[in-house]
Amino acid sequence: SFCTLLKLQSAKALFVMKVKLSLQLIALVLVLFITLHTCIIQATLFAHTPRHTQLYEQLNVSVGASAAEIRKAFRGLTRLHHPDMKETFVEKEVAKEKMAGILRAYEVLSDEAKRREYDASGLIPGEPINVHEMSARELFEHFHQVFPIVSRTPTLNTTALWQRIMSFKGNKLFLFQVY
């Protein structure tokens, strides 16, 4: 009787403890799921929001502007800010600086490949990066970017070069850089 009662109470306590642990485990899994879901949503939003709009702002166009809109804005701004249209020396110098920015923005945004690279990395293709003006996040994104860092090292991206190397029977040595 007392032993039976003790066994029932310990079984009941064990059952209650298992239920509590199960509920805690379910709550933990739910919190992890919600956290993961939130991270995925934030990553998706971050990936689809343009972070680099400086060149677009220089041409006064939206990030999704078409090539025709970019060309129209460029022509309008060049007429407005051309140094020959200014009268004083100071105005001409300011206009030269403004035109340099407009020309640089148009050079990048009018070329689809350069525009894609700028939108992805925020860096102007062909210009060296200034690490002192970049945040830690921008540095990380630059060195872990989608597009490869362009180098002067030839790559095996053409079948003609690959066939030339494979058919080589001379005494010259080809050097490969694999990374």
Q: How many CA atoms lie within 13 A of 114 on its CB side?
A: 14
Q: What would the pLDDT profile of 59-118 be if each residue is shown by its tens digit?
A: 999 988 999 999 999 999 999 999 888 899 999 999 999 999 999 999 999 999 888 888
- Count of CB atoms within 10 A of residue 51's CB? 14
Q: Give the pLDDT band of residue 4 (cuts 50, 70, 90).
A: confident
Residues 99/83, Cβ–Cβ less than 8 Å:
yes
As a CATH number, domain 55-127 is 1.10.287.110
Q: Please state the domain extents for the chain.
A: 1-36, 55-127
Residues 58/73, Cβ–Cβ less than 8 Å:
no
What pTM does this model have? 0.49
Between CA 154 and CA 176 the distance in angstroms is 9
> Which residue in 38, 55, 62 sits closest to 101, CA to CA?
55
Between CA 33 and CA 27 the distance in angstroms is 10
Between CA 135 and CA 118 the distance in angstroms is 17
**pLDDT, the chain, mean:** 77
- pLDDT number for residue 171: 59
- pLDDT number for residue 74: 94
* Type of residue at 116: R
- Please name the residue that has the structure tokens 């403890």: 17
Q: Which residue has the higher pLDDT, 134 or 54?
A: 54
